[in-house]
């Protein structure tokens, strides 16, 4: 009886989260549509829209392919080398690009790959004149791989680290060669994660706006997101913007549907929970291969970040540190980041638990499967609704109530929480599924329910993915500019908005210093999210 009541409460909580999510997005879209009474679908069939659609698909597909192909060997190398000097810092570094403001990352890439960058300067010294151009398709692909490869690699690494240690001992006893290990042990895990990771990266690349605007180089490299922004910012044509958003959702939704059918549910093996010890990778060939992939990934990620640090150190950091505007922006950014991250992680955990409960064997009917599917789809489709659309819609809704700035903190927190939801869902869903497969029957047979299960069973096992998800969500919110750009004011200034303002006023030295502060803050959040990785083996040994 208590179990049924707990399951009902879980399902109701998940339904409330889903309803709040859909209401927030639906009201924003309805407010935009109400401006002219509907959308004119005929505006979609012009040459410009077809051109930007083709380019959106091209750059997103190539960016996803390159990011995933780069991430798989890097994740395997890190999983096979659990102990080497600086490994934990490399894992933390791989989370930093995701939380950096896009403008900061783009500036770092320009410092390395740009016309006056390190690479072109070296090649000109060798007698080659302007051999590499970062603007256009090449620059967009380069930037997307820089931002998204670390995300895919960390998702793959988390999956590989969940493989039970008994699998590796059995493989060692059977004398499996490296190719067989990949085929029978690693690939089943990667295959289950691949559609979700690829779909997430594709949506991030398809909805990319600032990178395309910064590195696109002109109208020939425009995307649907840019067309949506132009329709709202310059033409204020809400129906066209909504119609373009619908085209974007339909295009990427079709791909997600295909990827979902390709996905396979991994079979979770039972484990005694001992420290995982891999017996492969002892040969010189594997050591050299793993070392090469780790070195390439480190160089590719660290070089632009080092360029940001070098340019930031040239600024007057003491002056910035004493600036009251910087203090206010720092406190505002930290408060918004913490609130949105907690909201995103809580909502994701409730929705994942509700989806798992509702599709239990005794209630796995069409309605239950539809509810679970809606939860999974909502966690991905939010990326297809641009923040500018949500912000503009709620601006119109709140304008009759007076000063919109009063509601700005709440709206920004909610938008940031929803935008972080896909990342949090990708981190928590596999970990919660693995934990449920290993503990559900035992806890049910022992009658452990409610708060006691949460405290003694769930939180200890899910602490690492929860901290990782929280750090990702905080870094994403900290680096956000889209929502703040619409609601920012004298009373609510964040670090990204202050950085953008200093860049717009040509105070490049101050902008470089603020970029350094922002990067260090993101690194601190990343350290807090991954601090448990190197302490876990000591607790197990004890």
Q: How far is CA 539 from CA 132, 416, 542, in A?
A: 50, 35, 5
Mean pLDDT of 78-103: 79
Asked which of 124-138, 267-281, 440-454 is least confident by mean pLDDT, the reply is: 267-281
Q: Is the pLDDT of residue 456 over 50?
A: yes
Angle at the Cα of 537 from the Cα atoms of 532 and 542, rounded to 5 degrees: 115
Asked which of 111-115, 263-267, 444-448, 487-491 is least confident by mean pLDDT, the reply is: 263-267
pLDDT of residue 263: 60
pLDDT of residue 99: 64
Mean pLDDT of 449-471: 79
CA dihedral (448, 450, 452, 457) in degrees, to 10, reads 70
Higher pLDDT, 453 or 159: 159
Q: Which of 478, 491, 483 shows the shortest CA–CA distance to 335?
A: 478
Q: Model pTM greater than 0.75?
A: no
pLDDT of residue 149: 94
SS (H, E, C) 220-265: HHCCHHHHHHHHHHCCCCHHHHHHHHHHHHHHHHHHHHHHHHHCCC
| Mean of pLDDT over the chain | 79
Indicate the domain borders of the chain. 50-220
Confidence at 527, pLDDT banded by 50, 70, 90: low
Asked which of 99-103, 224-228, 305-309, 311-315 is least confident by mean pLDDT, the reply is: 99-103
pLDDT of residue 3: 61
On the CB side of 200, CA atoms within 13 Å amount to: 27
pLDDT of residue 485: 66
Higher pLDDT, 38 or 46: 46
Mean pLDDT of 40-57: 73
Confidence at 251, pLDDT banded by 50, 70, 90: confident
Confidence at 535, pLDDT banded by 50, 70, 90: very low
Q: Is the pLDDT of residue 190 over 80?
A: yes
CA–CA separation, 65 and 62 (whole Å): 5
Contact assessment for residue 108 and residue 516, using Cβ atoms and an 8 Å cutoff: no
Confidence at 471, pLDDT banded by 50, 70, 90: confident
Asked which of 86-90, 410-414, 486-490 is least confident by mean pLDDT, the reply is: 486-490
Mean pLDDT of 272-296: 75
Exposed e or buried b per residue across 394-409, where buried means at least 16 C-beta atoms within 10 angstroms of its C-beta: bbbbbeeeeebeebbb
pLDDT of residue 533: 45
pLDDT of residue 161: 82
Confidence at 539, pLDDT banded by 50, 70, 90: very low
Higher pLDDT, 165 or 181: 181
Q: Is the pLDDT of residue 359 over 80?
A: no
Mean pLDDT of 7-14: 84
pLDDT of residue 530: 59
Higher pLDDT, 315 or 72: 72
Domain 50-220 has CATH 1.10.3720.10: yes
pLDDT of residue 108: 84
Measured in residues, the chain has a length of 542
Mean pLDDT of 457-486: 80
Exposed e or buried b per residue across 88-106, where buried means at least 16 C-beta atoms within 10 angstroms of its C-beta: eebbbbbbbbbbbbbbbbb
Mean pLDDT of 93-105: 75
pLDDT of residue 346: 93
pLDDT of residue 363: 52
Q: What is the CA radius of gyration of the chain?
A: 24
Higher pLDDT, 114 or 59: 59
Long-range contacts of 15-18 (CB under 8 A, 24+ apart): 15/354, 15/371, 17/347, 17/350, 17/351, 17/354, 18/351, 18/371, 18/374, 18/375, 18/378
pLDDT of residue 542: 30
Q: Is the pLDDT of residue 340 over 80?
A: yes
Contacts of 438 (CB under 8 A, 6+ apart): 268, 270, 271
Confidence at 26, pLDDT banded by 50, 70, 90: confident
Q: How far is CA 516 from CA 116, 322, 369, 512, in A?
A: 21, 15, 47, 6
Higher pLDDT, 369 or 471: 471
pLDDT of residue 268: 52
Q: Is the pLDDT of residue 36 over 60?
A: no
Contacts of 152 (CB under 8 A, 6+ apart): 67, 68, 71, 75, 197, 198, 200, 201
Contacts of 219 (CB under 8 A, 6+ apart): none
pLDDT of residue 540: 34
Mean pLDDT of 21-31: 87
Long-range contacts of 440-445 (CB under 8 A, 24+ apart): 444/3
Mean pLDDT of 295-299: 93
pLDDT of residue 484: 74
pLDDT of residue 534: 42
Asked which of 29-43, 101-115, 205-219, 290-304 is least confident by mean pLDDT, the reply is: 29-43
Higher pLDDT, 137 or 536: 137
Confidence at 526, pLDDT banded by 50, 70, 90: low
Long-range contacts of 163-170 (CB under 8 A, 24+ apart): 163/189, 163/276, 164/269, 164/270, 164/271, 164/276, 165/271, 165/272, 165/274, 165/275, 165/276, 165/277, 166/269, 166/271, 166/272, 167/269, 168/276, 168/277, 168/278, 168/279, 168/280, 169/277, 169/279
What three-state secondary structure class fits 36?
coil
Model confidence over 366-388: pLDDT tens digits?
A: 777 777 778 877 777 777 677 77
Mean pLDDT of 224-245: 74
Mean pLDDT of 413-424: 89
Mean pLDDT of 307-333: 87
Query: CA quadruple 456, 458, 460, 466: dihedral positive or negative?
Result: negative
CA–CA separation, 487 and 332 (whole Å): 13
Confidence at 538, pLDDT banded by 50, 70, 90: very low
Contacts of 470 (CB under 8 A, 6+ apart): 341, 342, 345, 529
Q: Is the pLDDT of residue 259 over 70?
A: no
Contact assessment for residue 158 and residue 465, using Cβ atoms and an 8 Å cutoff: yes
Higher pLDDT, 360 or 534: 360
pLDDT of residue 292: 93
């Amino acid at each position: 009886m208590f179990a049924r009541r707990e399951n009902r409460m879980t399902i109701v909580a998940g339904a409330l989260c889903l309803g709040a999510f859909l209401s927030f997005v639906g009201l924003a879209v309805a407010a935009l549509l109400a401006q002219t009474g509907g959308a004119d679908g005929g505006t979609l069939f012009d040459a410009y829209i077809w051109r930007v659609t083709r380019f959106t698909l091209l750059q997103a597909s190539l960016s996803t392919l390159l990011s995933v192909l780069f991430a798989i060997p890097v994740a395997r190398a890190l999983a096979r080398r659990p102990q080497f000097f600086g490994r934990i810092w490399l894992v933390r570094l791989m989370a930093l690009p995701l939380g950096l403001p896009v403008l900061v990352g783009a500036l770092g890439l320009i410092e390395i790959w740009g016309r006056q960058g390190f690479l072109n300067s070296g090649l000109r010294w060798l007698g080659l004149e302007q051999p590499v151009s970062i603007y256009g398709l090449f620059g967009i692909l380069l930037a997307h791989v820089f931002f998204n490869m670390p995300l895919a690699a960390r998702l793959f690494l988390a999956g590989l680290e969940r493989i039970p240690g008994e699998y590796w001992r059995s493989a060692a006893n059977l004398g499996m060669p490296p190719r067989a290990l990949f085929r029978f042990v690693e690939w089943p895990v990667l295959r289950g994660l691949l559609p979700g990771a690829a779909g997430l990266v594709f949506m991030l690349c398809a909805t990319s706006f600032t990178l395309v605007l910064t590195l696109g180089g002109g109208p020939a490299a425009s995307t649907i997101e840019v067309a949506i922004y132009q329709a709202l910012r310059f033409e204020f044509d809400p129906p066209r913007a909504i119609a373009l958003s619908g085209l974007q959702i339909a295009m990427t939704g079709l791909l997600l549907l295909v990827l979902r059918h390709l996905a396979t549910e991994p079979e979770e093996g039972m484990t005694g929970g001992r420290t995982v010890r891999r017996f492969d990778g002892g040969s010189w060939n594997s050591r050299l291969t793993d070392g090469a992939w780790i070195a390439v990934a480190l160089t590719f990620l660290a070089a632009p970040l080092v360029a940001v640090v070098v340019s930031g150190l040239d600024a007057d950091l003491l002056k910035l540190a004493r600036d009251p505007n910087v203090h206010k922006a720092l406190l505002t950014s930290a408060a918004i980041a913490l609130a949105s991250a907690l909201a995103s992680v809580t909502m994701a955990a409730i929705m994942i638990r509700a989806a798992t409960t509702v599709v239990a064997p005794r209630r796995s009917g069409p309605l239950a499967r539809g509810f679970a599917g809606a939860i999974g789809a909502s966690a991905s489709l939010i990326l297809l609704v641009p923040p500018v659309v949500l912000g503009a819609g709620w601006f119109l809704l709140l304008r009759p109530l007076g000063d919109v700035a009063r509601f700005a903190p709440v709206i920004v927190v909610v938008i940031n929480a929803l935008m972080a939801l896909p990342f949090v869902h990708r981190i928590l869903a596999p970990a919660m599924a693995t934990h449920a497969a290993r503990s559900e029957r035992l806890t049910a047979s022992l009658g452990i329910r409610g708060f006691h299960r949460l405290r003694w069973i769930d939180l200890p096992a899910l602490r690492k993915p929860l901290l990782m998800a929280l750090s990702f969500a905080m870094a994403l919110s900290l680096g956000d500019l889209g929502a703040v750009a619409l609601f920012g004011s004298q009373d609510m200034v964040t670090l990204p908005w202050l950085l953008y303002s200093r860049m717009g006023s040509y105070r490049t030295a101050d902008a470089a210093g603020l970029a350094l502060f922002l990067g260090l803050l993101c690194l601190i959040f990343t350290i807090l999210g991954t601090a448990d990785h190197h302490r876990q083996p000591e607790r197990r040994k004890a």
